[in-house]
Every structure is written in C-alpha cells, then in structure tokens.
Structure 1
Amino acid sequence: MSYVIHSRSKAEIDSMIEKIEAWHRKNTRTSKQRLGFLKRAGILDRNGQLAKCYGGKGE
C-alpha cells in the first residue's frame, strides 16, 4: 500500500478548516440534525442508542 502526501500551505489548511466548521454549524443546529448525523456516521444505531462497535448494547 502506498500513500500520497500532499503539501498544503497554512492558508489552504485554514480555508479547509473554515469550510468544515461552516458545514458543522449549518448541519448540527438542531437536536434532530445532530442525531441524524450521528446515525448516518454509524455512531448511533437506528434507535438512537450507542452503536455496538462503540461500546453500546445496540445492534
């Protein structure tokens, strides 16, 4: 397996961080949005419980 490492300037990194933070602010405003994100990420199961792979008793 090989990896490609891209060199980025501080300005590019800062821009990427700002875009991620803006997405986060926009998409996690409400409890419903936050729960939806955690479910899509697989952190919570479909019942809203902590997923088994994260130490929960869920599915």
Structure 2
Amino acid sequence: MIDAVHTDLVTVTYPLAKSWTLDLVAAVVAQKASQDALLADGEAYRRNMVRVAILLAHP
C-alpha cells in the first residue's frame, strides 16, 4: 500500500478483504503530518508517515 501511494498518488482505492477498500488519498489527506512528509527529503520519513496515515485510516 505504501508503494502505491509513492508510485501514484491518484490511486483512489486499495482493495482489502471482503469488498473492503481503503481510500489511500483520503488517508494521507486526513493526516497533516503525512501530507508534509510527502514534500520532505527523507525517503524513510516519507514511507513511515504514509504508513502511519494508512494505519490510522478506517476502511
């Protein structure tokens, strides 16, 4: 999922189990720190902040 955000931020949904989907863009937009991290230089920092946004999201 994290690679999907880095590859294509336009990806709207990511399929989960039993017809559940996660809106990756909405997950990142909901977390201000994740938005800021996408503009930062550190690759590891960006990946970790996107991971946090995904973990805090609700499918």
TM-score interval, smaller chain = under 0.3
> Normalized per residue, which structure has more strand?
2
> Normalized per residue, which structure has more helix?
2
